[in-house]
Every structure is written in structure tokens, then in C-alpha cells.
A and B are shown apart, each in its own frame.
Chain A
Amino acid sequence: MEHIRVDSITKTYLVKQRASGVLQGVKSFFHPTYNTIDAVKNVSFSVKRGEIVGYIGPNGAGKSTTLKLLSGILVPSDGKCFVNGLEPYVHRKACALKMGVVFGQRTQLLWDLPVLDALDLQRHLYRVSKPAYHRNLDLLIELLDMSSFMNQPARQLSLGQKMRANLAMALIYEPEVLFLDEPTIGLDILAKDTIRRFLKTINKELATTIMLTTHDMGDVEALCSRLIFIDHGSLLYDGSLESFVHTYSSGYTLRVEFADTVITKVPDTEVVAQSGNRVDFHVKDHSIRPGSLLRYLTNSADIVDVAVVNNSIEDILRRLYRK
């Protein structure tokens, strides 16, 4: 059953053109001209109940805009989207009761008051019964390891603690759908692990549909069975993670550590990473065999170490983003 459905959705912004110079500035004040920016262009996809979908793309691709359309914050310029069968920008209140939204850099906590007070307020706002509230609270405290800071005001919490508390705020009323916009941004590896484990658990136990945007491919690899890739507002890929790697991974990458002279210009190769004396050469479509490339390099310079590197999702995305 489709939990989320997006039908040819488009979001267009009119951005005023900035004029240079005083005279042009005065002219544009009275006769402004606008640029049309398509933040999201004719995007369509659907998400089944219980799926965890990674929604990825470079900065400015339209990821957050899509999430804001799905959570009812923005109204589409064209097309429609549905969450639980309802258009979220039309039925905001009804959708809000069944939807949790967490923006990585924003907080819903009360600055001066303990986390427990914020959760209690959330209970009244979302009309959660007392038994359900206490049951959910106990579960969230355990899964998110929050017992140590439940009585601390939000202003005293670390970033990781705030993120866990914000997740609790979004889940205390058991939403059916969870939208996460960069939930692990700025967190250390342990905090990320906690959150990833938590999300997997609630997805498994409660069949919560999760759609997350992230730049951390660790999140994608740990959580998502499905990936949607968007760039310049257009949907470029929608499918499984394995298929994504297979589709976009072509050729191989040879990591070479040079002794002293570093060579970067090698025909039919692309330098995808360089750090000190270490250079990663990517060869597309096996146009040169690894042996031939290695012979060329050893004839040109002294090499300390060499390895064939598997294409990670990050490597693939790095190449895609550069295009």
C-alpha cells in the first residue's frame, strides 16, 4: 500500500534579480525582474508502508524542498503529493497527527525547560493518551539512551543529546511516517550509530515509514534499502542501493602512493582524489587494463604502494556531483 505518493510535483520560486549600481537599483525597485528557479521539477515516486528511503543529491538539488512539500510546509506549484492518502498542504492538521518531521539543524525542544516538559507538552498537542505516552516514553528513553538528560534543559544538551531528544519529540505520538532532514549532521560516530540503530528498530517494530535526506553515506548504507537520487530538481534515479552502485559504478579506481614525484596527468584516467603523495586514478569502462596503467605509472615514477579500490557510494556520488 502506498504510504507516500508524489505525482509530477513541481516547486518554482521567483527570485528577484539583484541590480548592480545605484541607477539600476532604483530602476529595479520600481520595475523588478525575476528569475524562475525550479527547485523541484516534475518529480514522481511512491513509498510503501514500512520502507526506509534515502533521498540524496548535492546541495541545492531539491531534497529539503521535497521534504517540505511532503510535510505540508510548502504548497507545490504544480502536481500533487499524498501522505496517507491526504494532501499535506491541504489537510495540514490531519497529516501532522500522523507525521513526524525532524530537521537536523532545528529543534522543537523548549530552550529553558527539561526534555521531559517538552515531551509532556507534545503529548497534549498530539492528544496522546496517558498509557500510550508512558509506554512510548519508556521505549524511547531506552532505545535512545536518554535517561541521563531527561531532566536537563535543552540549552544544556550536547548536539547528539538534542538530536536524540528531537527524535523522541517526533516519535512520542507514534507517527506512521517520519521525515528526517539530515538527522546525523554534526554528530560523532557513536551518536550516529545510536540513531541509526534506533531508526532501524522503530522501522522494524512499528513499521514506521522513513524518508531521510542525508549527505552521510553511512546513513544510507546502514538504513536504506532504496535510494532516490535528485539533482537540479529532477529525479535521476529511484531504485535499490545495490542497483544504484551497479548502474553508476563503472570501471575501477587505482590508488597509488608515489615515493616522491607525483603524477596526475595520465591519459584516459580521471583523478578522483589526491592527498599528499597518494592519488586515486579512476578508469572509466575499463578503457585501460589495470596492468597497463600500472606499467605506465611505474615507468614514469617511483611507486611505494598500489591498490585497486572498490567504488564506494561516496566515490560514485563524488563523480555524479562533479558532473
Chain B
Amino acid sequence: MLTLLSKFVVVRWKSRTRYPVSFILGIVGQWVSYGLEFASMWIVLSSFELLGEWLPHQVMALYSLNLCCYAGGASIAYGASRSLPIMVKDGIIDELIIKPLNSLIYLMLSNISISYISHFTLGVFGVVLSWIIQGIHFSISNLLLLILFILSGSVIHASLMILSAIPSIKMVGNISLTAFYTQVREFMYYPLSIFSKPLQFLFTFIIPCAFISFYPTSLMFEISADNFTGGWIAFFSPVVATLLAVITLSVWKITIAAYQSSGN
């Protein structure tokens, strides 16, 4: 599987870099775009002493970790989630089903993206800066924990992207659910504790986005979460990620079994 993954990455790299100007402009554009968003958030947050119980650099850490996880998840799932409704409409989803590989894995591999370098580097920059301001040690254990949370958060992002796109297999032309995911993602830029209890419950137990960056950041920065859980819940991020991945694969399998194809 790793050989296949690296093969697909090479193929996608070759495909994107066939148009070098477009590729470079894309990366630079993302840096500028997210960099400006980063900067504008910093300016706005600096006007407040606290957001809930969160200091500005802690909110930046939250945003940055979310950005890293989004980069990881989107690299493997964004392309798949955007192309799936189009493939269903054009009847070319058949191609996925005749491959000797799980059709979802093939869909993700064949749409893997290498363009999220900008998101990831900005995210890492934000996390590192926040750690320095907070005085968190760059110990092996802390770094391993960070890597674990980035991996878990990436899987959660990827799963949510795919889950929002799967209904298009039954409902031809569905785009609106993927837009719904985009809106939900924006809630994660801010500490969950500033939202109402029903929303906290929703994003913890129903759409578990809070495990992407809120709980991990709460734990790493030792912020007492003003909700019904403690910082320890962050250690469940890998469990939530695994569960969500299993659910995504199961839903995909059930939906594909009922696939009707299109005429020829």
C-alpha cells in the first residue's frame, strides 16, 4: 500500500508540475491567502485579552493546528470529495469499482493533492510560534503528541469530507453537503468553549470536529475547558479518528453496493 501511495503521489506531482507556473502560483496564492487570514485573525485577537479562557496566542495555536490537520486531510480527501459528485453525474464512477483496490481508497489515491504544502507550513509556523510564546518545551514527547494529534485531526477532516460527499452517489448532483462541511470547519477556528452547550455537544459527540484541534490544544496548553469534559478527552482523538474512518468506509461500502450506474 505504501508503494502504491508513493506511486500515486509521484503521478500527481508529475501531473501538477507539468504546468509549473500554475503550480507555483497556486502555492504562493495559498500562502498569501492563508497568511493574510492568519494575520487578520492575529490583529483581531490582539484587541481582546481573552476569548473565553483563551489568550490570543492560544487561539492562534488552535487555528494553526486545525490548519495542519486540514492540510493533511485535504491532501487525501478534498479532491475525492469534490470530484465524486461530478463523477456520479458523468457516470464515470464505474472506473473506481473495477479496480483491484477498495474503491474509496482508489478514489482518494487518484485525487491525492500535493498543493497543501502552504497550509501545512503556515500551520506549523503558527503552532511553533504559539509554543514559544506559551513556553512549551519542544521535547520528544510533546512533538510525538503533536504528530499524533495532527494525524488524528487529518483523518477526522478526511472522513468528514468524504462523508459529506458520499450522498452524491444516491442524490445525483449533490454539492450542498460538501459546502456544509466547509461551514462546520469554520467553527473550529475558535475555542469550542465560547459556543453554547448544545453546539459543544454537537461538535464533541455528533460531528466530532472538536477532537481535531480544540481538545488537543486545550491539553497541550493546559487550558481548563469550560465545558463538560476535561483535557484528558484529547487522548481520545486517535480513537475518534479511527472510529470515524471505519464509519466512513462502511457507509461508502453500503452506498456503492446500491450504485445504479448510468446509461452508456
Residues in A lying within 8 Å of B, measured CB to CB: 13, 60, 64-65, 68, 71-75, 89, 92-94, 96-97, 99, 101, 103, 105-106, 108, 110-113, 117, 120-121, 124-127, 153, 181-182
10 cross-chain pairs, A with B, having the tightest CB-CB distances, nearest first: A64-B264, A96-B100, A112-B15, A97-B100, A124-B7, A73-B94, A93-B100, A73-B97, A101-B98, A112-B18
Q: Closest Cβ of chain B: how far from A271's Cβ, in Å?
A: 31
Interfacial chain B residues near A126, Cβ < 8 Å: 100
Interfacial chain B residues near A97, Cβ < 8 Å: 100
Whether B92 sits at the interface, judged by CB under 8 Å, is: yes
Supply 16 A–B pairs (Cβ within 8 Å), ascending by A: A13-B260, A60-B263, A64-B264, A71-B97, A72-B98, A92-B97, A96-B99, A106-B95, A111-B15, A117-B14, A120-B7, A124-B3, A125-B4, A126-B100, A127-B100, A181-B264
Type the 1/0 row for B1-43, where 1 means its CB is closer than 8 Å to any CB of A. Answer: 0011001100100110010000000000000000000000000
Interfacial chain A residues near B95, Cβ < 8 Å: 106, 108
Chain A residue at minimal CB-CB distance from B96: A73
Interfacial chain B residues near A89, Cβ < 8 Å: 257
A-B interface contact total, Cβ < 8 Å: 70
Whether B176 sits at the interface, judged by CB under 8 Å, is: no
- Evaluate contact between A124 and B4: CB separation under 8 angstroms: yes
- Interface centre among B4, B94, B103, B263, by most chain A C-beta atoms within 10 angstroms, is B94
Interfacial chain A residues near B261, Cβ < 8 Å: 65, 68, 73-74
- Evaluate contact between B260 and A74: CB separation under 8 angstroms: yes
- Evaluate contact between B97 and A72: CB separation under 8 angstroms: yes
Q: How many residues of B contact A (CB 8 A)?
A: 25
Q: Tell me the bound Cα distance from A39 to B60 in angstroms.
A: 57
Type the 1/0 row for B209-248, where 1 means its CB is closer than 8 Å to any CB of A. Answer: 0000000000000000000000000000000000000000
Q: Closest Cβ of chain A: how far from B255's Cβ, in Å?
A: 12
Q: Tell me the bound Cα distance from A253 to B4 in angstroms.
A: 59
- Evaluate contact between A71 and B15: CB separation under 8 angstroms: no
Q: Closest Cβ of chain B: how far from A244's Cβ, in Å?
A: 23
Please pick, from B11, B100, B257, the residue contacting A121 in the complex, using a CB distance under 8 A: B11
Whether B147 sits at the interface, judged by CB under 8 Å, is: no
Q: Tell me the bound Cα distance from A9 to B258 in angstroms.
A: 17
Interfacial chain A residues near B103, Cβ < 8 Å: 92
Q: A89-B257, A105-B264, A113-B15 are in contact. List 8 more A-B contacts (CB 8 A).
A: A75-B257, A93-B100, A96-B100, A103-B264, A108-B95, A111-B15, A126-B100, A127-B100
- Interface centre among B15, B92, B260, by most chain A C-beta atoms within 10 angstroms, is B260
Whether B195 sits at the interface, judged by CB under 8 Å, is: no
Q: Closest Cβ of chain B: how far from A67's Cβ, in Å?
A: 9
Whether B101 sits at the interface, judged by CB under 8 Å, is: yes
Whether B205 sits at the interface, judged by CB under 8 Å, is: no
Interfacial chain B residues near A103, Cβ < 8 Å: 94, 264
- Evaluate contact between A113 and B14: CB separation under 8 angstroms: yes
Please pick, from A64, A71, A110, A113, the residue contacting B263 in the complex, using a CB distance under 8 A: A64
Chain A residue at minimal CB-CB distance from B260: A13
- Evaluate contact between A106 and B92: CB separation under 8 angstroms: yes
Chain A residue at minimal CB-CB distance from B15: A112
Whether B259 sits at the interface, judged by CB under 8 Å, is: yes
- Interface centre among B92, B97, B258, B259, by most chain A C-beta atoms within 10 angstroms, is B97
- Evaluate contact between A110 and B94: CB separation under 8 angstroms: no
Q: Closest Cβ of chain A: how far from B60's Cβ, in Å?
A: 38
Interfacial chain A residues near B98, Cβ < 8 Å: 71-73, 92, 96, 99, 101
- Evaluate contact between A68 and B94: CB separation under 8 angstroms: yes
Interfacial chain B residues near A125, Cβ < 8 Å: 4, 99-101
- Evaluate contact between A106 and B94: CB separation under 8 angstroms: yes
Q: Closest Cβ of chain B: how far from A167's Cβ, in Å?
A: 15
Interfacial chain B residues near A94, Cβ < 8 Å: 100
Chain A residue at minimal CB-CB distance from B99: A96
Q: Tell me the bound Cα distance from A13 to B259 in angstroms.
A: 11
Interfacial chain B residues near A182, Cβ < 8 Å: 264
Q: Closest Cβ of chain A: how far from B20's Cβ, in Å?
A: 12
Chain A residue at minimal CB-CB distance from B14: A113
Q: Tell me the bound Cα distance from A96 to B95 in angstroms.
A: 11
Interfacial chain B residues near A74, Cβ < 8 Å: 259-261
Interfacial chain B residues near A75, Cβ < 8 Å: 257-258
Q: Tell me the bound Cα distance from A174 to B257 in angstroms.
A: 27
Interfacial chain B residues near A65, Cβ < 8 Å: 261
Interfacial chain B residues near A13, Cβ < 8 Å: 260
Chain B residue at minimal CB-CB distance from A173: B100
Interfacial chain A residues near B101, Cβ < 8 Å: 93, 125
Chain A residue at minimal CB-CB distance from B103: A92
Q: Closest Cβ of chain A: how far from B78's Cβ, in Å?
A: 19
Interfacial chain A residues near B259, Cβ < 8 Å: 73-74
Q: Tell me the bound Cα distance from A113 to B11 in angstroms.
A: 8
Q: Tell me the bound Cα distance from A250 to B100 in angstroms.
A: 47
